[in-house]
Structure 1
Amino acid sequence: MVFDGEAASSLVKELRVSFSSGKTRSYEWRISQVKALLKMMAEREDEIVDALRSDLAKPPLETVVYEIGMFKNSCELVLRELKQWMTPEKAKTSITTFPSSAEIIPEPLGVVLVISAWNYPFLLSLDPVVGAIAAGNAVVLKPSEIAPASSSLLAKLLGEYLDNSSIRVVEGAVDETTALLQQKWDKIFYTGNGKVGRIVMAAAAKHLTPVVLELGGKSPTVVDSNVYLEVAARRIISGKWGCNNGQACISPDYLITTKEFAPKLVDALKTELENCFGKNPIESNDLSRIVNSNHFARLLKFLDDDKVSGKIVYGGEKDESKFLLTVIEEAKGDESLMVDPPELKRYEAWLMARQKPSGNFTSEATNLVASKIGELVEKNTQGTIVFEGRDDILTVALGINEHPGRIRTAPRGVGFKKFYGKSSRSTLGGVSQDDLLAHLQALEQKMNIDFQHKLQKHLQQQRTELQQQMQKEMQEERAQIQQGMKLLQ
């Protein structure tokens, strides 16, 4: 059956009827769907592992941790917090409206479209979906055709476990996506690259549909010369190759260090790469493969660049679907790979002229370099920033990222909301940023009240214990006095 504009229009109409009935608004419906998703992940874990093995050769442990485990956390958060999220919040009123009162009532947007990515096909599909459900919306998921086994399994499982009158999956490629984008949605959520993001924005603009773009970018890592070199190398390797073989928008893309320290860092990376993946990493079962031949050819073209090919200091070998882990030294910033110059001052000017990092800005640095990076951060729009000094532990897992995706041409401060955890429900529900700020202030106030309550309770308990101890001592003294008086008599 061909899925064209007519089929897409019919689908949206069906979901609008379902949404208009009001059933997706109820707490019970939302909770039942989230519980069904948790049940699905538990009962069909083996099938999910197999699908990701087929699409990306993802190791089972990586699938369980980054695709299944992290999504379960999102579901459990919804189950734990949804009732509070749905509760109306008191709003301040001015003296001119006295004696009236006001409140903010969270409400769903309606029928939303989620277009997901191929690199984490389950997590990046289901996290926005569970956010849409938690907000009380009807939702259509369009998984990526680049991960066909995962796309097919998502369509099958969501059809079996969820309410199909309000939640649907549409498989396909460009034609199907185009048909969907021609429709009037109440919100569109897209995860992917900027090129397609612009197409999504243009289509949404025709209907004045609000859009969330979660886009890829380049994520730098600054390494100072005064660090624990082995630890820094392991962290870089874990972030770059330990998560989907670098096919992640928040994995470290390039390193910034001093010219003198670069050889030591390269040697440490070589040593730790072999420690992690063996003498011949290309044969390791702990590395995902490049997703398809087109992406493989694109990477191959990068390495064939005359500005790059002579600067490969480790790796570069390949088979039909994998590259040997590759380290390139002394790049100048004008190569197709978009790697960086080695000096922080030069990097500042270079960064300001390029796309903002949408992922983690990771620093293995001393306090001096960290302070310079702090100055740089004030002048540029970054994603999550992780400072890792000599005695610190890795505090952020490269799996959850709370940055707002941004478009290169967007003015400073104009971006799109983050979507993990509660933000997913807020992004796909009718709650403004001012509402979120009010919620955070209320939460802070509640925490202060809770702390004061606990402190008062603790002090009261200590006071009670002290009174009991004093009473006991007084009784003992009274008994001794009475006994002494008896002896005197």
Structure 2
Amino acid sequence: MSAKGLLEKQRTYFRSGATKPVAFRIHQLETLKKILTEHEGELISAVYKDFKKPELEAYATEIGILHDEISYAIKKLRKWVKPNRVRGTLINFPSSNFTVAEPYGAVLIIAPWNYPIQLALLPMVGAIAAGNTVVIKPSELSPNTSAVLKNIADAWYKEEFVAVIEGGVEVNQDLLAQDFDYIFFTGSTRVGKIVMEAASKHLTPVTLELGGKSPCIVDGTAKIKTAGKRIAWGKFINAGQTCVAPDYLLVHSSVKDELLKELKKSISEFYGVNPKLSPDYARIINQDHFQRLRSYLEDVKVYYGGRYKEEECYLEPTIVTDIEKDAAVMEEEIFGPILPVIVFDSIADAMHIVNSKPKPLALYLFTENSTTERLVLKECSFGGGAVNDVVSYLGNRHLPFGGVGNSGMGVYHGKSSFDTFSHTKSIMRKPTWLDIPFRYAPYKGKLKWIKRILK
């Protein structure tokens, strides 16, 4: 079926009202939870085939987080859908006022390859909870996972409610040419601009979950042993192919040597002396990304790592130092297991480096100084982040997740996912037993009273 035909079919189904009852939504969320349980092994196997993602990482970052999100939505949905009463104003006295969460209709979710299960299905949780129909376009760069998601959708869902469409750039272009009611995109800033341009032709609202060069600042007061372990974990999980991974490290000159030693030590503890032999270390998704990453090593000083095996898309955890300002590794988001280290002497210098670049998706700060913490959080703009930790903040469903500026727009996770896929409809209910004539013409002598009311 063509993208246009599928959209028309989903829109007809939505307009029938089938997706709106709360009982239907909860049943569909329960079904999704059942799907994850019954197909867990198949899904984990698929992401391993795509880029050797370790089983624990696959479960924790792909499936486990989905179970948590679904359970929370099921528990809270009846509360979320209730009308929300708001205060009235004197100018509209007497009246009762409330807002209602209304589903958009037929929504499109375009997912990336790096977390191909989570980033396809977690937005779907919010879309179903809000009462929409869903078309999912998985990434063609993770073909095994894409195929499994397609097979699951075909087996469990009617395509007028949930459909998965596979394909490359041409399929994306065809989908974006359609008049969907909402588009949710996760991917690069470059492609995000294309999505937004396509959506603008239909005035379709969008959520863009992008990325950018997320900095990690370590000042002179930080607990270096803990910082080294947490940074190494967050940077090299999924072989660095995480949108909120620390992209580059800013470290105070007084603790640089100590931190580098702790990073090196942590990498060896996690993956052994030869990470290539570790069952816990993933691979780069394909040759194009591998060659891009390898090129970054041509003009930098490798402090640790740097070994690779091209035919296996293997690049070991790598730390590079003495970075020049115009080095290629500092131009675009790295999205791989290379960590540039830049030294600073004052927190002002570190913040200048951060603020000279487009606003990142995440920022991390390791410090024991509350004044430094307040200063960085106040002066640096970023989507979200953590103090004395990395990455794991996105596992808190109570924290809205999203970017700002070049790193994206809109948020999701938890209640925010429901809100993202809902239009907030405002209603005022006015009684007829009282009709104050003040608002009607003629207006003579009324202006001074209007000014008193509205000032």
1:193 equivalenced with 2:185 (yes/no): no
Within 1, Cα distance between the matches of 2:401 and 2:71? 22
Looking at structure 1, the residues matched to 378 and 94 of structure 2 have their Cα atoms a distance apart, in angstroms, of 44
Computing the radius of gyration from Cα coordinates, the structure with the larger value is 1
Match of 1:454 in 2: none
- Matched with 1:329 is 321
1:319 is aligned, of 300, 303, 309, to 309
What is the aligned partner in structure 2 of residue 35 from structure 1? 30
C-alpha RMSD over aligned residues: 2.0
Q: Which residue of 2 aligns with 1:342?
A: 343
Paired residue type of 1:317: R
What SS does structure 1 have at the residue aligned with 2:361? coil
For 2:158 and 2:4, the matched residues in 1 are separated by 20
Q: Is the 8 A contact 1:116 1:192 kept in 2?
A: yes
Look up the match of 2:261.
Answer: 267
Aligned to 2:430: none
Moved more, 216-225 or 7-16: 216-225
Q: 1:247 aligns with which of 241, 251, 257?
A: 241
CA displacement 1:74-116 (0-9 Å, x = unmatched): 1101110010111111122112322221221111011111001
**For 1:426-437, what aligned pairs fall within 5 Å after superposition?**
426-431=419-424
Q: CA deviation at 1:397?
A: 4.7
CA deviation string 1:174-199 (max 9, x = no partner): 00000000011111000000110010
Task: Give the partner amino acid of 1:48.
Answer: L
Q: Is the 8 A contact 1:135 1:428 kept in 2?
A: yes
Contact kept, 8 Å, 1:363 with 1:387, in 2: the verdict is yes
Contact 1:213 1:406 in 2 (8 A): no
- Is the contact between residue 214 and residue 404 of structure 1 (CA under 8 Å) also seen in structure 2? yes
Tell which deviates more after alignment, 66-75 or 220-229.
220-229
Q: Give the corresponding residue for 2:152.
A: 157
Aligned residues: 412
Distance 1:348 1:44 in 2: 46
Distance 2:348 2:132 in 1: 48
**Cα 1:395/1:110, change in 2 over 3 Å:** closer
The structure carrying a bigger strand percent of its residues is 2
C-alpha contact 1:230 1:272 (8 A) present in aligned 2:
no
Q: 1:419 aligns with which of 395, 412, 419?
A: 412
Q: Which runs of 4+ in 1 moved over 4 A?
A: 393-401
Instruction: Confirm whether residue 222 of structure 1 aligns to residue 226 of structure 2.
Output: no
For 1:47, the equivalent position in structure 2 comes to 42
Give, in whole Å, the separation in 2 of the partners of 1:180 and 1:159: 19
Of residues 175-184 and 256-265 in structure 1, the stretch that sits farther from structure 2 once superposed is 256-265
In the TM superposition, residue 64 of structure 1 has moved relative to its aligned partner by 1.1
Q: Is the 8 A contact 1:116 1:142 kept in 2?
A: yes
1:475 equivalent in structure 2: none
Q: Report the alpha carbon displacement of residue 279 of structure 1 after superposing the two structures with TM.
A: 1.1
Deviations 1:397-445 (A, max 9, x none): 565573432333x9xxxx622111111111011138x99xxxxxxxxxx
Shift of 1:217: 1.4
Higher helix share: 1
What CA distance in whole angstroms lies between the structure 2 residues aligned with 1:349 and 1:383? 18
Q: TM-score, normalised by structure 1?
A: 0.80
CA distance in 1, matches of 2:390, 2:124: 30
Task: Using the TM superposition, give the Cα deviation of residue 373 of structure 1 relative to its aligned residue in structure 2, in angstroms.
Answer: 4.4
Structure-1 residue corresponding to 2:133: 138
- Quote the Cα distance in structure 2 between the aligned partners of 1:395 and 1:110: 33
Secondary structure of 1:75 counterpart: helix
Q: How does 1:203-218 map to 2 (within 5 A)?
A: 203-218=198-213
Specify the alignment match of 1:284 in structure 2. Answer: 278
Contact kept in structure 2, 1:15 and 1:111, CA below 8 Å: yes
- Are 2:51 and 2:282, in contact at CA under 8 Å, matched by a contact in 1? yes
* 8 Å contact from structure 1 (residues 184, 207) kept in 2: yes
Q: Which amino acid aligns with 1:92?
A: R
The match for 2:446 is none
> 1:368-387 residue pairs with structure 2 within 5 A?
370-387=370-387
Residue equivalent to 2:442: none
Structure 1 SS opposite 2:409:
coil
Distance 1:288 1:204, change over 3 A: same
How far is the alpha carbon of 1:353 from its aligned partner?
Answer: 2.0
Cα gap change, 1:50/1:197 in structure 2, threshold over 3 Å: closer, same or farther?
Answer: same
**Residue 363 of structure 1: aligned partner:** 365
Higher relative contact order (CA 8 A, sep 6+): 2
Q: 1:93 to 1:226 in 2, by over 3 A?
A: closer
Q: Is the 8 A contact 1:383 1:402 kept in 2?
A: no
Task: Measure the CA separation in 1 of the matches of 2:314 and 2:411.
Answer: 32
Deviation at residue 163 of structure 1 after TM alignment: 3.5
Amino acid at match of 1:355: P
Distance 1:340 1:426 in 2: 39
Deviations, residues 224-272 of structure 1 (Å, cap 9, x unaligned): 233332221111111111x311100111121111234212211121122
Distance 1:35 1:158 in 2: 15
In the alignment, the residues of structure 2 paired with residue 155 and residue 95 of structure 1 have an alpha-carbon distance, to the nearest angstrom, of: 55
8 Å CA contact retained: 2:212, 2:358: yes
Alignment partner, residue 168 of structure 2: 173
Q: 2:190 is matched by which residue type in structure 1?
A: K
Q: Is contact 1:332–1:340 with CA below 8 Å preserved after alignment?
A: no
State which of 64, 69, 77 in structure 1 corresponds to 2:72.
Answer: 77
Question: Which residue pairs with 1:86 in the alignment?
Answer: 81
Query: How far apart, in 2, do the equivalents of 1:333 and 1:399 lie?
Result: 34
Cα pair distance change 1:323/1:340, threshold 3 Å: closer
Tell whether the 8 Å contact from 1:214 to 1:406 is kept in structure 2 after alignment: no
Alignment partner of 2:403: what SS? coil
In 2: Cα distance, 1:190 partner to 1:398 partner: 17
Matched residue SS, 1:226: coil
TM-score of the superposition, structure 2-length normalised? 0.86
Given that 1:117 and 1:124 are in contact with CA atoms closer than 8 Å, whether structure 2 keeps it comes out as yes
Question: Counterparts of 1:315 and 1:288 in 2: how far apart (Å)?
Answer: 15
Distance between the aligned counterparts of 1:263 and 1:207, measured in 2?
54
Residues 117, 143 of structure 1: 8 Å contact kept: yes
